[in-house]
Structure 1
Amino acid sequence: MPVLHSAIHKIDKKPDGTPAVLFLGGAEQVESQARDDLMHQFNESYNGTAGKGWGFFHAESGAFPLSGWLGKYLAGVGDFLKFSTIAVEHLVRLMEESNLTTGGHALFCHYQQGLTEYLIIALVQETEAVTMTEELSLLTIKRLDLDHIRLAARINLSEWKGNPQSKQYISYIKGKQGRRINEYFRDFIGSQEGIDGPSETRTLLKAFSDFVESEDLPEESAREKTHALVSYSMAQAKLGEPITLDELSGLIDEDRPKSFYDFIKAKDYGLSETLPPDKKTLNKFRRFTGRAEGLSISFEAHLLGDKIKFNPADGTLTMRGLPTQLTEQLKRATA
């Protein structure tokens, strides 16, 4: 993960209502193991943070100027430090206008992962830690709190420039610190909501369930395909990369690599070719399946306790909300 450019500024904002004080970094962060370790740890924490939004830039304007400054930097007009300085000064103005009390270290990093370039912008807080000196004495120090990132966004620069019609080249942490804080930071980035990650992931899982049912797969085969889908999707989430339908289809069925992809397109689920995986939704997805003496049962784990209740004492399942087609068949059979 080569770091191309990075800069850190500090915003001192106290809760007593006094104006924020900005301490500008005088130069970019020099190349060092500490800098690279910082960005590696940040990315791991960011990728593992649940509750992200996905979007794209508003048209450049006085209200949303960051995309214009970023475009000029990428075009070679001004250096990275100048871009980060203009941006953080704008962030402080928004902070004052919103009367918010969240300061911190403003981190800007332009890096490359594989063939893709990204820009990270984050407001990172400090926390205290205890270390040991060479004299074996305990010492309290301050460190950047990368375990609890609250305000951060990552822009896929390659996607933005290569596919300007995309609606998911910006990801940002929604967080739990309050709607006003989230909205002010999103306005600073200039991002509008594009693809709903949890909704897209739920639609993908629904399409997969329908696919498994339509294929009438043996229990073991259904389990293997479910494992392939969840493993791939979770791996992409860990990397901070989107799910690619074509790639996923090939993993689900190596003998017929286009079968799931063609099923999705034929049924018109409205899924994008790539979609952001939502870890929380994926964690809930698991299928219970079983066959015996002409009986075949298969359902998603999240239905257990809601539409489906299991009584371990007598080994029975109670189901609510049966499919309409099945209900009609049963009515005709018992008439």
Structure 2
Amino acid sequence: MTNTIIRVAIHNLTKTQGAFVVKHGKSDLKVTQTMQRVIDDLTALYAKRTSKSYGKFAVDEDRFPTEKHLRAYFNVQPSDFTTLTHKMMETLKAQAGYKGAATGGHVFFAHFEREERQYLLIAIVNEKLGASMTSDLDVQDVRHLDMDGFRFAGRINMTSWANGEERYIGFLKGKREVSEYFKEFLGCDTTVQNRRDTAELVQALMAFATDEGMDTPSKDDFLARAKTICERSAKAQEELSFEALANELSPQDPERLMTVLADPDLRLNDGFVPDRRALGPLIKFKGKTSTWSIEFNRDAITRGNVRFNAEDNTLTLTGLPEDLTAQLRAEYSQDG
């Protein structure tokens, strides 16, 4: 998937003697090959991180003005990326000042488009010391961007926001006391909806099992174990970590599952307490019409008690319980 960069800016947030200072860079940086690679790397690395949270803009725009600034950016033509990023830097500076654990760094802003959807990525990247070879085969110190080590990043799906969707902001959670200021800088309301989060996780796990081409017994086992893990967290009222879930559920290759769960396009909240009421689809099928309802466990298919004919859209049930059989025999004998 190609990221088409529309605008990019880099500013600095520096902590000096307990206070934060903003240094503005250019807000109309050219999209060179290096810049494209850096932004592509940041978006890819952000996507791989499992510990993300999702939400929408908070209602109070006086306390959390990012939505207001973004709206102005879209409504004013030609759009002014300089004003947007400068105002967002002032908000970041203010929020960082409230948190003692906050740190500064190079703040990247990238407005880009991918698959006909527009995004705003914000990431704080620091530098680290490395080494390079000289022409006479010696080594020398060199400072470079610590791309793998960034802790603060967020992404606003501006297309979803404009369309009035429910969740369009994502950010790295990290340690609560450290990342809280970045969440408030974005103005993100992350009101937890455990039942909805659980239902979305269930759908992601079922899709993963299908996409991996698991046979029926393997799929049944995978989803049943997923239900057991989620129920354990629910019973203990403990937040479910996607990394821990992937390591236990798919120990041979947890990275494949973590990549799916971390996909920002799925907007799966990491670190919620599963709702047991929403776990049923992992092992159950159910449906109803105006005249009947049905529910059966997944292993009924494996055992052959339930057979589905996709061509004529029918179900065949075998091994009916005696009381139901007796009722049906009595009913049909009366009709005869």
Once residues 39 and 109 of structure 1 are traced to their aligned partners in structure 2, the CA distance between those partners, rounded to angstroms, is 7
Contact 1:121 1:152 in 2 (8 A): yes
Q: What CA distance in whole angstroms lies between the structure 2 residues aligned with 1:64 and 1:130?
A: 42
How many residue pairs are counted as aligned between the two chains? Answer: 242
Aligned with 1:241 (options 248, 265, 272): 265
- In 1, Cα distance between the equivalents of 2:111 and 2:166? 21
Identity score, percent: 24
Deviation at 1:111, TM superposition (A): 0.5
Please list, as runs of the form range in 1=range in 2, the aligned pairs for 1:77-96 lying within 5 A after superposition: 78-96=79-97
Aligned partner of 1:119 in structure 2 is 120
3-state secondary structure, aligned to 2:76: coil
Structure 1 CA distance for aligned equivalents of residues 285 and 87 of structure 2: 45
Superposed CA RMSD in Å reads: 3.9
Do the aligned partners of 1:151 and 1:185 also contact (CA within 8 Å) in 2?
Answer: yes
TM-score by length of 2: 0.61
What's the secondary structure of 2:19's corresponding residue?
coil
Contact 1:233 1:243 (8 Å CA) reproduced: no
1:187 Cα deviation after fit: 0.8
1:139 aligns with 2:140: yes
CA distance in 2, matches of 1:74, 1:192: 21
Aligned counterpart, 2:11? 9
CA distance 1:238–1:135, shift in 2 (3 Å)? farther
1:98 Cα deviation (Å)? 2.9
- Match of 1:102, SS state, is coil
Deviations 1:193-216 (A, max 9, x none): 1566963454437878xx99xxxx
Q: Secondary structure at the match of 1:13?
A: strand
Distance 1:137 1:53 in 2: 45
Specify the alignment match of 1:184 in structure 2: 181
Question: Are 1:167 and 2:162 counterparts?
Answer: no
In structure 2, the residue matched to 1:220 is 215
Structure 2, unpaired ranges of 5+:
224-249, 269-280, 289-301, 306-336
2:33 is the counterpart of 1:33: yes
Q: How does 1:1-335 map to 2 (within 5 A)?
A: 1-14=3-16, 17-76=17-76, 78-162=79-163, 164=164, 166-176=165-175, 179-194=176-191, 199-204=198-203, 220-223=215-218, 236-237=260-261, 240-242=264-266, 266=287
Matches of 2:267 and 2:67, distance apart in 1: 26
The one-letter code matched in structure 2 to 1:175 is: G
Cα contact 1:207–1:264 (8 A) shared by 2: no
- Cα distance in 2 for partners of 1:266, 1:7 equals 52
Structure with greater Cα Rg: 2
Aligned equivalents of 1:206, 1:28: Cα separation in 2:
42
Alpha carbons of structure 1 residues 206 and 109: separation in structure 2 relative to 1, 3 Å: closer
Contact 2:50/2:258 (CA < 8 Å) preserved in 1?
Answer: no
Distance 1:157 1:60 in 2: 19
Q: Deviations over 1:142-181 (max 9, x none)?
A: 222111221111111111112x1x33211110013xx222
Cα separation, 2, equivalents of 1:124 and 1:243: 23
Unaligned stretches of 5+ residues in structure 1: 213-218, 245-259, 268-290, 297-335
What is the CA-CA distance between 1:184 and the residue it aligns to? 1.4
How does the TM-score come out when normalised to structure 1? 0.61
Judge conservation of contact 1:129–1:140 (CA < 8 Å) in 2.
yes
Please give the alpha-carbon distance, in whole angstroms, between the structure 2 residues aligned to 1:27 and 1:205: 38
